Structure 1
Amino acid sequence: MSDYIVAVTGGIASGKSEVTRRFEALGVTVADADIAARDAVAPGSSGLAEVVASFGEGILAPDGSLDRAAMRQHVFGDEAARRRLEAIIHPRVRAQLRATCEAAPGAYAIAAIPLLAEGGGREAYAWLDRILVVDVPAEVQQARLMARDGSDAALAQRMIAAQATREQRLAVADDVIVNDGPLAALQAHVEALDRLYRRLAVEARVGA
């Protein structure tokens, strides 16, 4: 059982997934918010039933699953609709992340939450013990998005602007990895933080 939980967050194309993969390679359980969000509206789930009750059956695909493209179109540009959808999904995501982390073996567990700053930060995730932000300058994000997705500069800028600002993410950080160099440089950062989190987890248990 892990009673010490660390969140990993960061902007798009910051390298969050690479960081969490390296923690996993060290034996740390990682609970992924993107997976939890899919599970929250899986066929047969109470979440999907609530989404259908709120938005109608037009957001379902022929096989009964959520038609994500139709759902995006439904809430795009409609702030009230987006908030209604988030009110259904976010509590379920938070509950699943917490349960997965608390049930994990090892000294601590990680919750990978890309939109932590956007989703209420520490107030919404009061059960987090520490927050690690994977940080890169906006120009690095833009270059990576253009290389990764083949998007043009204007689209990449819009994708970055749709998220919290770099300053908003850093404001919630306990720890920061600046990931603007080669991937190989990440390993030393991850290993140092792994040692820190194991020590803090032990200290938290002793002090409990």
Structure 2
Amino acid sequence: MYLIGLTGGIASGKSTVAKRLASLGAVGIDADQLAREVVEPGTPGLAAIATEFGDAILLADGTLNRPALGAIIFSDPNRRERLNAITHPAVRRLTRDRVAAAGAADPHAIVVYDVPLLAEAIAGGLVTFDLIVVVHADAEVRIERMVELRGLTREEATHRIAAQASDADRLALADVVIDNNGTFDATMAQVDAVWTRACAAEARVAEARGVEATDGTRAP
């Protein structure tokens, strides 16, 4: 199994890149989706959030009121840390399970873990990545996208960017940077190049393991 860590700031285009890789044959694991699963009704995660933030963050049907919670955590770093302390351990456990399941289903799979907090995943020893891909777009471009496509105010968009890791911190982790300041076609060409690289690397690893398994030596 070949594991790609995919990250990028909010509105950088990370999800678009993840979808393209999935269309090419990658197995996608979305950290945001896992984060939703661990706070579904009836989960310990949602119960802990309601205790910490109050019943006002629950909708009438018992599901999480995400806009209400977001308004709290994106304006208060301390409250955001309290939320992270509740959700991150559960997401880490689920991530390990999903990565292991993907490898068991297909030892030659190319798995893309789409995660906003990649630095935290690495520091926490969550998984070991074969390739780290960072999708990058300038802050002003991302603010404009959030205002136009998500209906946020500039102030809200700026707060959300500030609440995440800095561009410099993300870029410092990158093996590959996909520049998403330009056209869609230009971005997709970069994604396709990443896929070609990953396929070639997985094939080399598979060949080396095959040689080792048959005669006890490793391929060069």
TM (norm. structure 2) is 0.78
Q: Any idea what SS the aligned residue of 1:127 has?
A: coil
Aligned to 1:110: 112
Aligned to 1:123: 123
Describe the superposition over 1:148-194 as per-residue Cα deviations: whole angstroms up to 9, x where unpaired: 23545444433323322211110111111111111112232222211
8 Å CA contact 2:146–2:152 kept in 1: the answer is yes
Deviation at 1:138, TM superposition (A): 2.1
Q: Any idea what SS the aligned residue of 1:103 has?
A: helix
8 Å CA contact 2:7–2:134 kept in 1: the answer is yes
Aligned to 1:50: 48
Q: Any idea what SS the aligned residue of 2:63 has?
A: coil
8 Å CA contact 1:107–1:202 kept in 2: the answer is no
Deviation at 1:57, TM superposition (A): 4.4
Structure 1 position 95 matched with structure 2 position 93: yes
Describe the superposition over 1:117-140 as per-residue Cα deviations: whole angstroms up to 9, x where unpaired: 4xx252125413121100122232
Consecutive unaligned residues of structure 2, counting only runs of 5 or more, are: 213-220
Q: Structure 1 residues 99 and 144 mapped into 2: Cα distance closer, same or farther (>3 Å)?
A: same
Q: Structure 1 residues 86 and 157 mapped into 2: Cα distance closer, same or farther (>3 Å)?
A: closer
Distance 2:8 2:158 in 1: 16
Aligned to 2:140: 139
Q: Any idea what SS the aligned residue of 1:114 has?
A: coil
Deviation at 1:12, TM superposition (A): 1.7
Consecutive unaligned residues of structure 1, counting only runs of 5 or more, are: none
Moved more, 159-168 or 170-179: 159-168
Give the aligned residue type for 1:33.
Answer: A
Q: Any idea what SS the aligned residue of 2:199 has?
A: helix
Which of 20, 25, 28 in structure 2 is aligned with 1:27?
A: 25
Describe the superposition over 1:30-63 as per-residue Cα deviations: whole angstroms up to 9, x where unpaired: 1111111110011122322333454454543332
Give the aligned residue type for 2:100.
Answer: E
Give the aligned residue type for 2:147.
Answer: M
8 Å CA contact 2:27–2:109 kept in 1: the answer is no
Report sequence identity in percent. 39
Moved more, 163-172 or 66-75: 66-75
Q: Any idea what SS the aligned residue of 2:118 has?
A: coil
Q: Structure 1 residues 51 and 18 mapped into 2: Cα distance closer, same or farther (>3 Å)?
A: same
Moved more, 181-190 or 55-64: 55-64
Q: Any idea what SS the aligned residue of 1:5 has?
A: strand
Describe the superposition over 1:47-81 as per-residue Cα deviations: whole angstroms up to 9, x where unpaired: 22333454454543332222334434554654443
Give the aligned residue type for 2:133.
Answer: L
Give the aligned residue type for 2:90.
Answer: R
Distance 1:40 1:173 in 2: 28
Structure number with greater Rg is 2
Distance 2:157 2:65 in 1: 25
Report the aligned-residue RMSD.
Answer: 2.6
TM (norm. structure 1) is 0.82
How many residues are treated as equivalent by the alignment? 204
Give the aligned residue type for 2:140.
Answer: E
